[in-house]
Amino acid sequence: MGVKTHAALWASLIMLILYLIGHYTLPNGPDNARIVINSLVIGVNLAVCLTWAKRAYASLRTGISTGTDNIFVGVWLGSVVSLAYFVYLVIVIGYDLREWSRHVPIGGIFTVGFFLSASSLLLTPLNTKEDIEPVSMRWWILAVGISMFIAGSIMTLAFLGVVALGSV
């Protein structure tokens, strides 16, 4: 265990520190720091899109018949949606289109894309011929239940007027 084995962790920690320094020290710091960090994310997602595209396309052609196919499609789709989302964020922040972005359905389209990507990854162990540990299935069911509870609570509170959704 050294710097080599944890290079991604160290790089992430250094990026976080540099982002926070830029956020608090640059003129117009929060926006400039976010544009820089979003641009770095764009580069990484572009690399993932290009390196996983061939296998994801092959998996889609065969009908996503194995768990491995689910992984290829899930990772590739997640990187494509992330790439598009971060390009969108750079444009919105760079041209100060925050108010405009609240009135177009683009944000919801990204959410659906992230949902499809995560669903593909969630289905991975269900799409194999291997036995699934019951503990894993219980955790997945618990995660979905907690998510449904949180969403239902927020919507109920919004319906009762306790919280206002969509207002900033």
Query: Tokens standing for 8?
Result: 């991604």
Three-point CA angle 148, 152, 156, nearest 5°: 175
* Tens-place pLDDT, residues 78-134: 999 988 988 888 888 778 887 887 778 887 888 888 888 887 777 776 656 656 555
- Per-residue pLDDT at 3 exceeds 60: no
Whole-number Å distance between alpha carbons of 146 and 93: 33
* Tens-place pLDDT, residues 122-165: 777 665 665 655 555 677 677 778 888 888 888 788 778 777 76
pTM: 0.65
Highest mean pLDDT among 5-9, 10-14, 46-50: 46-50
For 9-35, what is the mean pLDDT? 75
- Per-residue pLDDT at 75 exceeds 70: yes
pLDDT for 1 equals 47
Question: Dihedral sign, CA of 128, 131, 137, 140?
Answer: negative
pLDDT for 76 equals 93
